[in-house]
Structure 1
């Protein structure tokens, strides 16, 4: 029996099958801080916040002053959906070109390498969106407290918390 050492089709097929069964999940992932997940959701979609107990929310201000407010409206400052809208075609191209690289390399480029490259790209682009978002501007009280008008950046934790994970398609 003669073995064909040049038949790379099984390896190519395995990697392409592997690629089609994978997904990249990007954002603040389920095992991360619930507080940061809440901050991300509030900023992504906006929120109307009212006191749960009593008439007022007590909001700290500069120089120790405390403000009593009946409610606070936080406008939507999308960084996930807006990045997806702006970049999803490039992300699709990354997968397509990755599949071509798997074929051209005879399966030596792996599905994991393609998906990792996509995850890193998505993570960087979402982090950049967070750091560049300027509108809607912070409320004057927020600017006074932070000392700057940088709506999605205070401590930098939100941007640093954007992670990616390669999963089976359909799973978190």
Structure 2
């Protein structure tokens, strides 16, 4: 008697093992450069900038802004776009990942392709959330006048363009 195993268990286990060999990093990655990482960090967590006499002169000369003498700090408010997109959109990404995982288990997609599609989905989700849903706290009137837009996280588009993903081996 010959037993023909059609369960595909060995193939499924192989596909799952391949999944374990990769991971995906998503966000503003180090390849974006130090300045872009700093900008992302300031927006994500906020920042307090100590006011100096040089800064007072710069703002007065270039923008006609005269800070009060007792102003010691300029606060850039937190406008989370990475953490808040996760908090608000993770179930949608999870559903997409679950669908993709089924394709890997069934042998219809490689583990690498799974992580490519999942990484792109996450990056797109963060970018869309940042552009379309982060609108407070509002920009100051000076910032709006200088950049010509009231969207707090969009000026030139560089920050949104820097949101990416990277597949890494484990």
The bucket for the TM-score relative to the shorter chain is 0.7 to 0.9
- Corresponding residue for residue 140 of structure 1: 141
Classify the secondary structure of the residue corresponding to 2:149.
coil
Q: 1:94 & 1:125 partners in 2: Cα distance?
A: 11
State the aligned residue count: 162
* Alpha-carbon shift at residue 92 of structure 1 (Å): 2.6
TM-score normalised by the chain length of structure 1: 0.81
* Alpha-carbon shift at residue 6 of structure 1 (Å): 6.1
Q: 2:9 & 2:90 partners in 1: Cα distance?
A: 30
The answer to whether 1:65 aligns with 2:94 is: no
The answer to whether 1:12 aligns with 2:12 is: yes
* Alpha-carbon shift at residue 101 of structure 1 (Å): 1.7
Within a 5 Å distance, the mapping from 1:91-102 to structure 2 comes to 91-102=93-104
Structure 1 residues 21 and 86 mapped into 2: Cα distance closer, same or farther (>3 Å)?
A: farther
Greater CA drift, 65-74 or 111-120: 65-74
Structure 1 residues 90 and 160 mapped into 2: Cα distance closer, same or farther (>3 Å)?
A: same
What is the aligned counterpart of 2:91 among 89, 93, 98? 89
* Alpha-carbon shift at residue 138 of structure 1 (Å): 0.3
Q: Gapped runs of 5+ residues in structure 1?
A: none
- Corresponding residue for residue 79 of structure 2: 77
Classify the secondary structure of the residue corresponding to 2:23.
strand
* Alpha-carbon shift at residue 156 of structure 1 (Å): 0.5
Q: Deviations over 1:33-57 (max 9, x none)?
A: 2101000000001111114xx4352
Q: Gapped runs of 5+ residues in structure 2?
A: none
* Alpha-carbon shift at residue 165 of structure 1 (Å): 0.8
Larger helix share, 1 or 2: 2
- Corresponding residue for residue 156 of structure 1: 157
Greater CA drift, 86-95 or 42-51: 86-95
